[in-house]
Amino acid sequence: MNSRFFIHITLLFAAVTLLACSSEDDVSALGGQPLVLYADMPMTRSTVDNQWSVGDEVAVKIGDEIKIYYIKDAETGELTTFGNSDPFRWSPDFDSVEVTAWSLGGFAEAEPLTGITIPKDQSPENVGYTRHDLLYAKGTLTPSNTHLTFYHQMARVIVQLKFEATVELDDIFVYLGSDYDEEGNSIDIVPLTADFSAPTGNANYGTWNNFTNYPEYGGITMFHDATPEDGYDAAFSALLIPKDYSRTRFIGIDAISDMGLFYFIPSDGEANLQSGRTYTYRITVYNDFLDVTVGTDDDGTNNSVTPWSPNN
């Protein structure tokens, strides 16, 4: 599948006196009816898996004003503002309003989002995995169309491992993006910081650029997921800034034993990471080599690149 996953946020009207939506200038004028927001997502673990949690923050921008909302009820998806903060309000003078919104791993700030920095270590102790899941949405709201859809702007990589070698799971570490230059020196190739430009026009995904303007690159330590696929012994996940990693030592597996460090070097197109997609690499670890499945399952289904959604 080549479609990409999304999250619905439904904005509903409070009170029967709503006549129309506001303009960018007047939407927050006092005296109008407040926007009552509800988040609609599948019931799974976290925003990475399409589920909000109580307290998750969402920045909502109309015109030049940004307000912070948070999830009040994870089951219904109801959003509200903090404390006595005034929510956006409708005005009866206009029939549509342009809205953008974003959330970064369940956190948001009342300022435009222009870039992101990800950690090298994405293990749970460093909250690096879920904390850097960038969701972005934009749309024109009217009384008859009040859905705002959030799209993941990062790429997700999953490594499924099967062991045909004698190793201890606790001794396994999986890395992304440790390579060598032409002189044989070890280098890290994953950009940890990049500029983000919000999607424009009909696009749902923004653009990532200026990797080389930032000096810090890294090799990513992947998050050890507790739920491997059937037939596999372990799964590891990471979120990356989208970039092409083909023909690099993209995946490294270290068993902390006499086996040493194994690398997988993807061919052209096998690691050209795009926003909003999940890239799955199924790897069998032997004593002296790796067997990597990319592109097809046993039944011939192309399943290495999928939408980032459990419902597709």
Which of these three, 137, 152, 167, is where a domain ends? 152
pLDDT digits (tens, 9 = 90+) for 171-219: 788 889 877 777 767 778 899 999 999 999 989 899 998 776 666 788 8
**Structural domain total, the chain:** 2
pLDDT digits (tens, 9 = 90+) for 16-65: 333 344 444 444 433 367 766 666 553 333 456 667 788 999 999 988 99
User: pTM for the whole thing?
Assistant: 0.80
More confident of the two residues 28 and 220: 220
Q: Is the pLDDT of residue 15 over 50?
A: no
What is the C-alpha to C-alpha distance for residues 280 and 70, in angstroms, rounded to an integer? 32
Q: Is the pLDDT of residue 281 over 80?
A: yes
**Phi-psi category of 45—alpha, beta or left, where left has phi over 0 and alpha has psi -120 to 50?**
alpha
Which of these three, 125, 152, 179, is where a domain ends? 152
How high is the pLDDT of residue 46? Answer: 43
**Are 218 and 74 part of one and the same domain?**
no
**Are 166 and 292 part of one and the same domain?**
yes
User: Is there a domain that residue 1 lies in?
Assistant: no
User: Is there a domain that residue 190 lies in?
Assistant: yes
**Are 119 and 197 part of one and the same domain?**
no
How high is the pLDDT of residue 50? Answer: 66
- Could you tell me the CA-to-CA distances from 228 to 92, 132, 232, 310 in Å, in that order? 52, 22, 6, 14
User: Is there a domain that residue 301 lies in?
Assistant: yes
pLDDT category at 224 given cuts 50, 70, 90 is confident
Among 48-62, 78-92, 152-166, 244-258, the range with the most confident prediction by mean pLDDT is 152-166
User: Is there a domain that residue 133 lies in?
Assistant: yes
How high is the pLDDT of residue 97? Answer: 79
Per the CB < 8 A criterion, the answer to whether 192 and 214 are in contact is yes
Q: How many residues does the chain have?
A: 312
Which of these three, 117, 152, 187, is where a domain ends? 152
**Are 70 and 118 part of one and the same domain?**
yes
How high is the pLDDT of residue 23? Answer: 46
pLDDT category at 1 given cuts 50, 70, 90 is very low
How high is the pLDDT of residue 7? Answer: 54
By residue range, what is the domain housing residue 49? 7-152
**Are 141 and 38 part of one and the same domain?**
yes
**Are 201 and 78 part of one and the same domain?**
no
Q: Which amino acid type is present at position 90?
A: W
How high is the pLDDT of residue 208? Answer: 93
How high is the pLDDT of residue 258? Answer: 59
**Are 85 and 167 part of one and the same domain?**
no
CATH code assigned at 59: 2.60.40
